[in-house]
Structure 1
Amino acid sequence: MKSWLTACITMIAAAVLLAGCGAQSDGSVQSDGKLKVVASFNAMKEFTQAVGKDKVDVVTLIPDGTEPHDFQPTTKNLKELSHARLFVYNGLGMEPWADKTLEVVDNKNLVAVDASKGVQVIANTDKHDIHEHGRDDPHCWLSLQAAQTEVQNIAAALAEADPANAEFYRENAAAYNEQLQQVLAEYQEKFQSVPNRQFVTGHAAFAYLCRDFGLTQRSVESVFASGEPSPQQLASLADFCKQHKVKTIFSETMVSPKISETLAKEVGASVKTIHTIESAEGKATYIDRMRDNIEQIYQSLK
C-alpha cells in the first residue's frame, strides 16, 4: 500500500514539474500581505486561523466531505504547497501521504508542522487498523487538552515562518487556548456527577475526548471506520447497550449511519449526530462543535 502511494505521489510531482507548475515560490507572502498557509483538513485550518487571524490566508488541502484517511493528493494540491509558506497537518497517520508529499513538493521555503507533536498518544488496539494505518490513534484534535498542544505547535511554526509577528501569534494562541481550557474545565466538573461513564458511537474517533473526561467509548466501527462489525460483534454491542440502558447511539456525518441505526432500533435507542470536525459545517466553529459533542454525550449519560 505504501509503495503504491509513493509511486502515485512521485508521478503527480513529475507531472507538476513538466507542466511548469512546480516552480518554487518566492516564499510566503501574497500580494495582500498575508502569509499563505495550507492546512490538511478543517480542524487544522480553524486552529491556524485562530492563531494567525488577519495575517494568514488558510486553505484546506482535503475537500470538505472527503475522508482524510482516504485522500490522495493531486497536481493541484502540489501546486498549492509549492506556493505556500506553511503546511499544517495533524500527523499520527491521519495524513499517510504527508511525508512523501513533503519530499517531492518543490518549495524550499515551506515550513511543515506536525501539529500533534508532543501529544500523549493513544494506541490503536484493532489489529486490522494497526496493519493498515499504524499503531497510533490520530484523532487527538477531538480532545480539548490535546488541541491546546496543537495550537501551540502551530503558533511556533507561524513564528518560525514569520518572525516579525511571532509575539502576535503567541498571544493569539494563548487567548484561544484559554477558551479551550474554559470549556474543558466546565465539563470536567459536570462529568464528575455522572455515574454512567460509557457511551456508544458509530466509529471509535473519541478516545482522546474520553480521556479528557474519564469516559469510555464503545463503537460500531474501529478507529479508522474500516470494515463492518461481525454479527457476533454487533450482538455483543447490543447486549452491552441493553445492560447499560443506553438510550443514544451517536453517529458522525462522515460515516454511514446505517449500522448505528440498526443497532439503535435493536436496543430501543435514538441516533444523534456528533462532529469529527474533519470538514466545515456552515458557520459552526471548532469550539461550537466540540461543545455540542460534549454536551450531547453529557446529556446522554445523565
Structure 2
Amino acid sequence: MRKPLPRLAVLSVATALTTATLSACGSAGAQGSGVNVVASFYPLQFVSEQVGGEHVTVTNLTAAGAEPHDLELKPRQVADITDAQLVVFLKGFQPAVDDAVKEQAPDTSLDVAKTTELTKPEEGHEEHAEEGDHEHDHGDLDPHVWLDPTKLAEIADGVADRLAKADPDHAEDFKANAKSLGEKLTDLDSEYDDGLAKCDSRDLVTSHAAFGYLAARYDLHQVAMSGLTPESEPGSGAMKQIMDYVEEHGVTTIYYETLVSPDVAETIADKTGAKTAVLDPIEGLQKGSEDDYFSIMESNLSALREGLGCQ
C-alpha cells in the first residue's frame, strides 16, 4: 500500500497545481503567444493569422460548419471579446457580434468595413428576382468583400496597422506579413483575371447574392436566387423568373454553396436542363476541412471556368 505524502509535500503539490491552473486560465491565447485576437468569422481569422504570424493567437467566434449569419454568442465568447486585445469583425454581418463589440470592446475592435470600400449590391452587378421574402440584413451594403482578393489585401493592411498599435515591438513584422499576403492576393487576382477573360457566358447564377464583388471585379453578371442572406428562399414567382432567365440566356450551370441546402439550385437545374456545381462564398470552413482561403478560391475558379465555358 502506497504511503501518504508528507503534509509539506502535499501542500507543495497543491500549490503547484493551483499556480499552473491560474497560469493556464490567465494565458488563454495570450500569455506567451503574443496578441490575443478574436475574429468573428473565417476570412477575418485567416487574415489575422496571416498578418499576425507567430505574434498572435486568434480565436474564431464562428465554429467550422456553422452559418456565420446565424451566430449567437455564448457567455464564454462574450468574455473572449471582452478580454481580447483586438477584435476583428465586419459590422452588419453578424448582429450578435456588433452588439457585443459595442458593449464590451468599443476601443479594442476593428471594423474591417473601415479598411476598404463596401458597395451597394447593384454596384456589384447583382440581380435577383424581386420577391417579398428577399430581405437584406446588411442595410444598403454588400458585406461579402473578401471575395475580391484586392479588397482582402486592403483589409490585411488595416489589420497590420491595428496589430502594430497593440504590439509596437513587432510592427515591422506585421507590415511585412501584410505585404507578403498582399502579393499572394495580387497573384490570385491575376489568375482570376486571366482565367475568366474569355468565357462563353458571363452569367453567374447563384443560390444567394454573395458574389457581387467577385462579379464586379471580373466582369461577370450575378443573378441570385435569394438576397444577401442564404436563409431566404425564393418564392414561386422568383423561381419562375430565375428559370426563365436560365433558359433565355442559355445558362448551363447553377451554383450553390457549401453551408446551405442545394435543394433550390437542384430544382431549377432539373427544370431547365442545367447542371449544378459548388461555388463557395468562404463565409466559413466545413467541419474537418483542411482547406484555406487560397485553396477554396482556386477551387472556385475551376468551377467558374467549367461552368461558364471559359477558354
TM superposition score normalised by structure 1: 0.84
In structure 2, the CA distance between the partners of 1:154 and 1:118, relative to structure 1 (3 Å rule), is closer
SS of the residue corresponding to residue 146 of structure 2 reads helix
> CA separation in 2, counterparts of 1:232 and 1:151?
41
Q: Does 1:249 align with 2:246?
A: no
Q: Which has the larger radius of gyration?
A: 2
Distance 1:289 1:113, change over 3 A: same
Say if 2:203 is the partner of 1:206.
Answer: no
Q: Deviations over 1:38-79 (max 9, x none)?
A: 100111101111111111111101222322222222211111
CA distance in 1, matches of 2:28, 2:134: 37
- Distance verdict in 2 for CA 1:234–1:260, change over 3 Å: same
Q: Does 1:182 align with 2:187?
A: yes
Which amino acid is the alignment partner of residue 207 of structure 2? G
Other-structure match for 1:138: 143
Provide the rounded CA distance (Å) in 2 between the counterparts of 1:216 and 1:124: 12
Give, in whole Å, the separation in 1 of the partners of 2:207 and 2:181: 30
Match of 1:168 among 166, 173, 180: 173
Query: Offset at 1:232?
Result: 2.1
In structure 2, C-alpha distance between the alignment counterparts of 1:132 and 1:39, rounded to whole Å? 20
Match of 2:54 in 1: 54
1:257 Cα deviation after fit:
0.9
- Number of the residue aligned with 1:15: none
- Provide closer, same or farther for how the CA distance between residues 63 and 165 of structure 1 changes in structure 2, counting only shifts above 3 A: same
Aligned alpha-carbon RMSD (Å): 2.4
Q: Deviations over 1:115-137 (max 9, x none)?
A: 12242322146786666441111
Measure how far apart 1:243 and its partner are: 2.1
The match for 1:295 is: 302
**Any runs of at least 4 consecutive aligned residues in structure 1 with deviations exceeding 6 A, and if so which?**
25-29, 125-128
Match of 1:98 in 2: 97
Comparing 244-253 and 205-214, the one that deviates more: 244-253
Q: For the residues of structure 1 that align with 2:138 and 2:219, how far apart are their CA atoms?
A: 26
Conservation of the 8 A alpha-carbon contact between 1:39 and 1:59: yes
The 2-side partners of 1:94 and 1:225 are apart by 12
Mean CA deviation greater in 281-290 or 110-119? 110-119
* Matches of 2:103 and 2:160, distance apart in 1: 25
Q: Which amino acid aligns with 1:104?
A: E
Letter aligned with residue 245 of structure 2: F
1:116 is aligned to 2:113: yes
Q: Secondary structure at the match of 1:196?
A: coil
- Give the share of equivalent positions with the same residue, in percent: 29
Task: Supply the distance in 2 between the matched residues of 1:132 and 1:204 (Cα, whole angstroms).
Answer: 12
Equivalence for 2:159: 154
Structure 1 residue 195, shift from structure 2 partner? 4.4
Name the amino acid aligned to 2:177: N
- Does the CA contact (< 8 Å) of 2:81 and 2:100 recur in 1? no
Q: How does 1:36-47 map to 2 (within 5 A)?
A: 36-47=36-47
Alpha-carbon separation, structure 1, partners of 2:227 and 2:136? 13
Q: Which runs of 5+ in 1 are unaligned?
A: 1-24
Distance 1:113 1:147 in 2: 14
Relative to structure 2, which stretch is displaced further, 77-86 or 189-198?
189-198
Asked if the contact 2:149/2:189 (under 8 Å) is kept, the reply is: yes
Gaps of 5+ in 2: 1-24, 123-129
How far 1:165 moved relative to its partner?
Answer: 0.5
Residue 131 and residue 286 in structure 1: after superposition, are their counterparts in 2 closer, same or farther (change >3 A)? closer
- Structure-2 separation of matches of 1:59 and 1:130: 30
Distance across 2 between alignment mates of 1:167 and 1:157: 12
Q: Is the 8 A contact 1:221 1:229 kept in 2?
A: yes
Cα distance change, pair 44–83 in 1 and its aligned pair in 2 (3 A):
same
Structure with the bigger RCO (C-alpha within 8 Å, sep 6+) is 2
Q: Partner of 1:17 in structure 2?
A: none
Tell me if the contact between 1:27 and 1:85 (Cα under 8 Å) persists in the aligned partners.
Answer: no
Deviates more, 1:151-160 or 1:63-72: 63-72
8 Å contact from structure 2 (residues 135, 227) kept in 1: no
- What is the match of residue 35 of structure 1? 35
Q: Is the 8 A contact 2:40 2:61 kept in 1?
A: yes
SS, match of residue 218 in structure 1: strand
Supply the AA of the counterpart residue of 1:218: V
Say which is worse superposed, 113-122 or 280-289, in terms of deviation: 113-122
Give the TM-score, by structure 2 length: 0.81
Tell me how far apart the structure 2 counterparts of residues 124 and 242 of structure 1 sit (CA, whole Å). 24
